Amino acid sequence: MKRTSLILSLLLAAVWSHAQTDLDTIQVSASRTSTPLRLALKSLDLLPRQDLEDSPSSTLGDVLEQITSLDLRHRGPMDIQVDPGIRGGTFDQTLILINGVKMTDPQTGHHQMNLPVSPGNLSHVEILETGGSRIYGPNAFSGAIHLHTLTSGPDRLRVSVHGGSYGLASVSVLGQLNTGKWFSMIHVDAARSDGYRPNTDFQQGNAWLQTGFIEGNRQLLIQGGTNAKAFGAQDFYSSRYAEQFEATRTTMVSARYSGGSSWRYMVQCFARQHNDRFELFREGDRYYTYQSAGFFAKDNGEVAVFVPGVTEDWNFYRGHNYHRTRVYGGEASLAHTWGAAGTTSIGVEIREEQILSNVLGKVLDEPVDVPGEVRGEYLRQDARTNLSAFVEHGVELRRWRVNGGLLINDNSAFGTDLLPGLDIGYLMSPEMMVYASADRSFRFPTFTDLYYNLGWSKRSTDLQPEYSINLELGVRATQGSHAWRMAGFRRDGRELIDWVQWKPDSLQAENLTRVIMTGVTLGWTWTSPFSWMDKLTAGYTGMWAESEGPAVPSLYVLDQLRHKLMILARHSLGKWGATWVVNIQDRAGDYVDFPTGLRTCYETIFLVDLRVDYTLKWGQLFIAGCNLLDREYVDRGNVLQPGLWLQGGITVDMKR
């Protein structure tokens, strides 16, 4: 009762919103048909192009920290691995899209942020802060992050070079060319670092190419890209075997064509492949090397074993994990406006998900060699096909907006599900919208959830999908130079999948937890009339969890952010500019500290970032500092994050 009263009182307070100055200029995907953000009937937040450029950090995961409904759990810097959660959801419950193409990896949600794009080639980012399975299908359990790349702008060549602490070096090249109705873009970037502590060195690179045209109602978009990473993964998945290493590669391609006036149509096809090599004991000159006897050892004689002192054959680490996932499919939709009766949309999608692995899946009849690996073989495989169809109808009745729909989903592994939803809004004035939404969302177990069986982790092949009922009530408004929003939400998650520690030396994925997440999101943006201040933004999200399930330790479901407060200020004075970001996070849950074995509560995080830039006719100079107070903290238990990280660089931007 106290929590309900608190939420109601907050909803009646005069509070604020993030980056809502683009309420009319940017179309968002709050339903099957795009709409101006001002009229969206769900909670959405937005990062426009200017916010991406002004951020103290150059990586997507750090830029997204400006959104208070997002929980970005970093295992390494510079987006080496970051797990995004929305309103207390886990990384597996968050869907990421690039220009409408789902980037879900069926092996594990840890790979969702292995993306071939970066803030440098994005036009804006929209964040759906509530369940979106009716709109996006499976895995938009708690929401979605939708990345939109640049499709307009002048002909240009932009080159950025910067360096920083811990041997950081980075280069980025962006080219845009417009020829009549056609537009094209190529973006390439690369970065490396020696690491901020032992075994945190990394190398990574992106390449992105897109082309298409816009002619009246017709639009073609062809896009493709690749992302490659290789990094020391100190303590990432286990502190017992701390010296880990991982190398990943994502490749994707898609094509979309849309058009029509009275009857609007869209067809799209897509394909994505992800390769992953995980070394529980890092192989290399300063680490472990492969021995002719079939095991790994260091030069000092230390042998890679799971349990020290045991010499039986099963205890020796014999080789690395190799995984290759492929996802491909297509979708089509049709929409028609019936005058005052509203707009109806229908559509279908088919999606195939496959995995080859040496540890995940069902046993292959014959091993398959891993390309480029001397000792690697795929020994297992699995696949599943997903078919979905939707219908949605929206209508405007004077000041009222109503949108409802149903997704019918059939999966070859998990059967048929119905995912309904209803959104209602009331336009109190041209500047203020009150809205409410309700929907049912779900996600499938990953192949890791189903099959991983190594060391302490035990497979659970009988896992079933998890489900949520999402309810929210909110308001967004603008008044002069101020924009604000507030929303209260409740997500009732059932049959939640989590890795549970039944015994001190055992982890197993189970459908066993019901968690009700209740909370509030608030925000405010002030566009300043003063020459020395461009804007000031503040936001807050608070959540309270109620759990029904066995009182045993688990990894992911019950260590959500309880409170997140963000303050951003952008100053300018002539050619000089500065951006401050203050981020305060208070997390629920605890973790087992290594090596003491004590359960340790997460400490409150207080971070301050700053960017100072100087703009010239031909480009920009900048210096930036992340974690200016040099705080020691963890986002995930035992994985220590960097302290103060300084960067500086130059951008040359040639336009015509």
Determine the average pLDDT of the residues in 421-446.
95
SS3 per residue for 271-331: EEEEEEEEECCCECCCCEEECCCCCEECCCCCECECCCCCCCHHHECCCCEEEEEEEEEEE
Q: Is 56 inside a domain boundary?
A: yes
CB 544 within 8 A of CB 38: no
CATH number at residue 474: 2.40.170.20
Q: How many beta carbons lie within 10 A of that of residue 344, not counting itself? A: 18
- Whole-number pLDDT of residue 93: 94
Task: Among 518-522, 551-555, 638-642, name the one with the lowest average pLDDT.
Answer: 551-555
Residue 429 has pLDDT above 80, yes or no: yes
Six-digit token string for 352: 């195939």
Instruction: Give 458's pLDDT tier (boundaries 50, 70, 90).
Output: low
Amino acid identity, residue 595? P
pLDDT value of residue 9: 39
Least confident of 12-21, 64-73, 229-238, 527-536: 12-21
Tell whether the model's pLDDT for residue 564 goes beyond 50: yes
Give the phi and the psi of residue 641 in degrees, each rounded to 5: -95, 165
Q: pLDDT band for position 654 (50/70/90)?
A: very high
pLDDT tops 90 at residue 456: no
At 408, give phi and psi (nearest 5°): -105, 120
The 10s digit of each residue's pLDDT in 145-203 is 999 999 888 999 999 999 999 999 999 999 999 998 999 999 999 999 999 999 999 99
* 457 — pLDDT class (breaks 50, 70, 90): low
510 pLDDT band, cuts 50/70/90, is confident
Query: So what's the pLDDT on residue 29?
Result: 73
Other residues' Cβ atoms within 10 Å of the Cβ of residue 586: 15
Domain-embedded: residue 343: yes
220, pLDDT greater than 70: yes
Place of tokens 């971070």: 607
Please check the confidence at residue 568 and state whether its pLDDT lies above 90. yes
Spatial neighbors of 286 by CB under 8 A, at least 6 apart, are none
CA atoms within 13 A on the CB side of 154: 7
Tell me the pLDDT tens digit for each residue of 117-135: 999 999 999 999 999 999 9
Q: Is the predicted pLDDT of residue 14 greater than 60, yes or no? A: no
pLDDT above 90 covers a percentage of the chain that reads: 77
Taking residues 322-351, report their average pLDDT: 96
Least confident of 432-436, 554-558, 573-577, 635-639: 554-558
Task: Check whether 20 has a pLDDT greater than 60.
Answer: no
Distance between CA 196 and CA 522 in Å, rounded? Answer: 35
State the Cα torsion 107-108-112-113 to the nearest 10°: -120
HEC per residue, 338-389: CHHHCEEEEEEEEEEEEEEECCCCEEEEEEEECCCCCCCEEEEEEEEEEEEE
Answer whether residue 302 is part of any domain: no
Mean pLDDT rounded to a whole number for the chain: 91
Q: For residue 539, tell me if it sits in a domain.
A: yes
In this prediction, residues 246-269 reach a mean pLDDT of 96
Characterize 555-567 residue by residue with b for buried, 16 or more Cβ atoms within 10 angstroms of its Cβ, and e for exposed.
bbbbbbbbbbbbb
Which pLDDT belongs to residue 518?
97
Bridge partner list, 173:
159, 188
| Sign for the pseudo-dihedral over CA of 396, 397, 398, 402 | negative
**Nearest-angstrom CA–CA distance, 476 and 10:** 14
* pLDDT value of position 59: 93
Characterize 148-174 residue by residue with b for buried, 16 or more Cβ atoms within 10 angstroms of its Cβ, and e for exposed: bbbbeeeebebebebebbeebebbbbb
**Sign of the torsion formed by the C-alpha atoms of 308, 314, 318 and 321:** negative
Residue 405 near residue 32 (C-beta atoms within 8 A): yes
Instruction: Tell me: pLDDT of 13 over 70.
Output: no
Q: Is the pLDDT confidence value at 17 over 50?
A: no
Has residue 30 got a pLDDT over 70?
A: no
**What mean pLDDT is predicted for residues 457-463?**
77
* Position with higher pLDDT, 16 vs 612: 612
pLDDT average, residue stretch 611-615? 96
Once rounded to an integer, what is the mean pLDDT over residues 258-267?
94
Asked whether residue 455 carries a pLDDT value surpassing 70, the answer given is no
Boundaries of domain holding 138:
2-280+320-655
- 290, part of any domain: no
Q: What is the mean pLDDT of residues 206-214?
A: 96
Is the pLDDT at 16 greater than 50? The verdict is no
Answer yes or no: is 312 within a domain.
no
CB 213 within 8 A of CB 183: yes
Q: What is the pLDDT of residue 6?
A: 43
Going from the C-alpha of 7 to that of each of 243, 516, 540, 543, the distances in angstroms are 45, 15, 13, 10
What pLDDT does residue 551 have? 64
- Give the pLDDT band of residue 61 (cuts 50, 70, 90): very high
- In a domain, residue 305? The reply is no
Confidence at 32, pLDDT banded by 50, 70, 90: confident
Return the pLDDT at 528. Answer: 87
Please, which pLDDT band fits residue 4 given cuts at 50, 70 and 90? very low
In a domain, 507, yes or no: yes
Mean pLDDT of 358-371: 96
Confidence of residue 8 (pLDDT cuts 50, 70, 90): very low
1: how many CB neighbours lie within 10 A of its CB? 5
Tally of domains in the chain: 1
Residue 547 in this model has a pLDDT that exceeds 60: yes
| Alpha carbon of residue 48 to chain centroid | 17
Angle at 174 between CA 170 and CA 177, to 5 degrees: 170
pTM for the predicted model, two decimal places: 0.93
| pLDDT on residue 11 | 39
Q: Among 282-296, 447-461, 500-514, which stretch is predicted with the lowest mean pLDDT?
A: 500-514
